[in-house]
Amino acid sequence: RLYLYLGSADGVFTEYVGEALGRFQIARNIPERPGIYGPLTRSALRAETD
């Protein structure tokens, strides 16, 4: 676990969620703009949460 986001999972994409997403992308070397939920990020998140 990376503990990139400690807030609640409420379905709202806040500034904090975007920052956590950017940290996830950097930690996983995902070549998308940090904080933007694109197809490469979606695939990486699904692979880790399925």
Give me the number of domains the chain comprises.
1
- pLDDT tens figures, 32-45: 999 999 999 999 99
Q: Indicate whether 28 belongs to any domain.
A: yes
Give the domain extent around 44.
Answer: 15-49
Structure tokens at 43: 């695939």
Report residue 1's pLDDT band, with 50, 70 and 90 as the boundaries: low
Q: Indicate whether 1 belongs to any domain.
A: no
Is the per-residue pLDDT at 3 higher than 90? no
d(CA 9, CA 32): 23
Q: Indicate whether 9 belongs to any domain.
A: no
Full DSSP string of 1-50: ------S---S---HHHHHHHHHHHHHTT--S-TT---HHHHHHHHHHH-
